Amino acid sequence: MVQITGIGMITALGNTVAENLQAILEEKEVLGHPNILQTRHRNEMVVGEVKQTNEQLAAALNLPGAGFSRTTLLGLHALRETLKTLPPEQRAPKKIAFINATTVGGMSDVENLYSDMISPATEGDFLSYIDSLDCADCTQRMADYFDLRGFQTTISTACSSSANALQLGARMIESGEADIAICGGADALTRFTLNGFNALKNVDKKPTRPFDQHRNGLNLGEGAAYLILESETSAKERDAAAIAVLAGYGNTNEAHHPTAPSPDGAGALLTMQEALSVAGLDKEAIDYINAHGTATLGNDLSEGTAIERLFGNQDYPHFSSTKAFTGHTLAASGAVGAIICCLAIRGSFIPPNLRFETPMEEIGIVPQKKLLRNTPVRYALANSFGFGGNNVSLVLGDVNLRS
Q: Which residues are catalytic?
A: 159, 292, 328
CB 47 within 8 A of CB 53: no
Q: Which is nearer to another protein, 115 or 400 (CB)?
A: 115
Q: Which is nearer to another protein, 134 or 230 (CB)?
A: 134
Residue 361 CB, shortest distance to another protein, in Å, is 27
Q: Which is nearer to another protein, 127 or 401 (CB)?
A: 127
Residue 195 CB, shortest distance to another protein, in Å, is 5
Residue 201 CB, shortest distance to another protein, in Å, is 9
The site for another protein (CB under 8 A) is made up of 39-41, 102-103, 105, 107, 110-111, 114-115, 117-118, 122, 127, 130-131, 133-137, 139-140, 143, 149, 151-158, 164, 168, 171-172, 174-175, 177, 191-192, 195-196, 198-200, 251-259, 267, 270, 386-390
Please report how the helices 70-82 and 136-146 are oriented relative to each other, as an axis angle in degrees rounded to 10. 40
**DSSP string of 114-159, one letter each residue:** HHHHTSS--SSGGGGGGGGGSSHHHHHHHHHHHT--S-EEEE--GG
CB-neighbour burial class of residue 386 (10 A; exposed 0-12, middle 13-18, buried 19+): buried
Q: Which is nearer to another protein, 27 or 144 (CB)?
A: 144
CB 288 within 8 A of CB 318: yes
d(CA 225, CA 17): 9
Q: Which is nearer to another protein, 52 or 157 (CB)?
A: 157
CA separation, residue 371 to residues 21, 95, 137, 175, 378 (Å): 12, 40, 39, 39, 17
d(CA 340, CA 342): 5
Residue 388 CB, shortest distance to another protein, in Å, is 3
Residue 199 CB, shortest distance to another protein, in Å, is 4
